[in-house]
Amino acid sequence: MKVRREKLVLSLLCVAFLQGWMVHSVEYDHTASIECLGDPMKPLYNGGVIQNGEFNSGLMGWSTHRNSKTGVRSSPSGNKFAVVHGAGGTLSSSGNVLPSHSVYQRVRMQRDTHYSLSAWLQVPAGSADVKAVVKAPHGERIIAGSVVAQSGCWSMLKGGMTAYSSGHGEIYFESDAPVEIWVDSVSLQPFSFDEWEAHARRSANATRRSTIRLVAKGAHDDKPMVNATVIIELLRAGFPFGNTMTKEILNLPAYEKWFTSRFTWNQNQEDYRIPDAMLQLANKYGIRVRGHNVFWDDQNSQIRWVRPMNTDQLKAAMQKRLKSVVSRYAGKVIHWDVVNENLHFNFFEGKFGPTASAQIYNQVGQIDHSAILFMNEFNTLEQPGDPNPVPSKYVAKMAQIRSYPGNGGLKLGVGLESHFSTPNFPYMRSALDTLAKLKLPMWLTEVDVIKGPNQVKFLEQVLREGYGHPSVNGMIMWAAWHANGCYVMCLTDNNFKNLPVGNVVDKLIAEWKTHSKAATTDENGIVELNLPHGEYNFTVTHPSVKGAIIHTMTVDAASSASEHTITVRV
């Protein structure tokens, strides 16, 4: 669990290029279900290494834990699915209630392989949290994903895990509730590390870059300018990539130089004199700012004098805070994290009822009409074993906020904190796939990786995974420098010399901005350029022209749809 003080945040940016190859099909899945379906869809990847994943051949390939009665049922439409009868409420020899288990299948797993997992689940009554469990070849029990299964319809669980040794593993589904778990359309698809990483690179190249055609023509005769020189200057990268910064930047020129030469987004502590000065510094360098946070739902993180307030006193204090901080920075920040971590905590819901978060979003939106209002949460990507912030519950909370009267027009966003230890990349990608169904701006808002022998490698992989996912709109590092030590991860030492993780960030910033610096038009006056998205100056010179023509243009996903003409005056 994170421990940090309430803060107003400022945030910074960069951009990227990745190019890869494919061994076999790895695609971002857009079937990740938010709704419940009457019948499940076909298993992804035709089931992968799972045998009889649709149970059309009865229980062939499947077994049960304990001496439970197992069967295959059919829906009215003829769809077949597996049921373990009386699985819930079984007692162990010590008298403890055991989890409810589904059928399981043993599979042969390969070392250094990512496995994407999916299944469709249902319970006969009510709803229950159901987890996917994989017993890895080396014996570790891995939670590979979780979903709220419901009665009357099928919900898709999507997740995954990584095998670091070869041998037999097991896959099954369990719940702490005493329920029967109905299972259908199970899939477990392996991908080598090379395949996985190549797909992220290919996706990044397709998502973050575009090929454009510039045509240089004479102003008077409209004829193509042959052999004109085009100089390409990237003014501002199109993909937001930033870092948190602290008040120390205000009086440390070395910190200011290090920070502002890399990032274009940032975050900091609440004291209006300090944020005002930091905002002024950000504006000086063209750094865009996001606000973190208006309120925090954690009971233990409330200011000491807030906790004993009665309802009326707290409401008055909240109104003062809202009008103060949101009004002060309205139009100056592009995002607000509105009620921080409201899936794990419920301080305001406990005081004002289950719609407290939705009401706060409503009020923030009334004051600041321009900023995107984010729901910021941890462990949605990082920990599939944490039941509170799983993607299906994130989606449900966002739906509650959206459906509150007056909130239909709010500009909402998905904030994913991304505090990693050992990343589970198949789960991370599956969670992003599921949340992408919300069709809202989605950011990794507080990226860090704990210290350890694989910190550098894991950080690069996390950033590449986020950058490569087509539904991720930006990333912010949680690596602010403090004189007394960083939260989890420092990018520099106290002399602002890069640490190894800082070198990774610099490498990616440079890679993601890679582009041709100059080109020459052909016989038709055309130059074709593959460029990372962003704002550019194109400077055109020709022997027949005095001086240079500068053309400013934003390159984005729509830029390749037509030719872009630069008129050259003699």
Predicted pLDDT of residue 568: 74
- The whole-number pLDDT of residue 25 equals 43
Confidence band of 19 (pLDDT split at 50, 70, 90):
very low
Write the CATH number of the domain with boundaries 209-235+515-569: 2.60.40.10
Neighbours of 453 (CB within 10 A): 7
The whole-chain average pLDDT of the chain stands at 90
The pLDDT score that the predictor gives to residue 508 is: 97
**Helix (H), strand (E), coil (C) string for 58-97:** CCCCCEECCCCEEEEEECCCCCEEEEEECCCCCECCCCCE
Sign, CA dihedral 341-343-347-349, equals positive
The three-point CA angle 73-34-385 to 5° equals 85
Confidence (pLDDT) at 545: 84
Least reliable range by pLDDT among 10-24, 310-324, 325-339, 433-447 = 10-24
CA nearest to 40, candidates 100, 118, 104: 118
Q: Which residues are catalytic?
A: 341, 446
pTM for the model stands at 0.91
Query: Does 98 have pLDDT greater than 90?
Result: no
Instruction: For tokens 């670091």, name the residue.
Output: 164
- The CATH code that applies to domain 239-513 is 3.20.20.80
Tens digit of each residue's pLDDT (9 = 90 or more) over 474-504: 999 999 998 888 999 999 999 999 999 999 9
d(CA 190, CA 196): 10
Percentage of the chain lying above the pLDDT 90 cut: 78
Number of neighbouring beta carbons within 10 Å of residue 460:
17
Beta strands in 151-264 (DSSP E): 155-163, 167-175, 182-192, 209-218, 229-237, 241-243
Rg for the chain, CA atoms, rounded: 26
pLDDT in tens, 161-209: 999 999 999 999 999 999 999 999 999 999 999 999 999 999 999 999 9
> What's residue 21's pLDDT?
24
Q: Residue 245: its pLDDT value, please?
A: 84
Q: Which CATH number does the domain 44-198 belong to among 3.40.50.1820, 3.40.50.2000, 2.60.120.260, 3.30.420.40?
A: 2.60.120.260
Task: Give 395-451 pLDDT, tens digit per residue.
Answer: 999 999 999 999 999 999 999 999 999 999 999 999 999 999 999 999 999 999 999
Is the CA virtual torsion 436, 438, 443, 445 positive or negative? negative
Interval 515-533: pLDDT, tens: 999 999 999 999 999 999 9
Q: What is the DSSP letter of 266?
A: E
Among 92-106, 144-158, 243-257, 500-514, the range scoring the smallest mean pLDDT is 92-106
Rounded to an integer, the average pLDDT of 58-78 is 89
Task: Express each pLDDT in 106-143 by its tens digit.
Answer: 999 999 999 999 999 999 999 999 999 999 998 899 99
C-alpha–C-alpha distance, residues 460 and 374, integer Å:
25
* Stretch 532-542: mean pLDDT: 95
pLDDT digits (tens, 9 = 90+) for 36-57: 898 899 999 999 999 999 999 9
**Cα–Cα distance measured from residue 262 to residue 558, given in angstroms and rounded to the nearest whole number:** 27
Given pLDDT bands bounded at 50, 70 and 90, which one contains residue 34?
low
The pLDDT confidence band at residue 89, using thresholds 50, 70 and 90, is low
Give the CA dihedral 318, 324, 329, 330, nearest 10 degrees.
Answer: 70
Q: Which two tokens stand for residue 427?
A: 């789960």
Lowest mean pLDDT among 127-141, 212-226, 309-323, 413-427: 212-226
Structural domain boundaries in the chain: 44-198, 209-235+515-569, 239-513
User: What is d(CA 102, CA 540) in angstroms, rounded to the nearest whole number?
Assistant: 67
pLDDT band at 77 (very low <50, low <70, confident <90, very high): very high
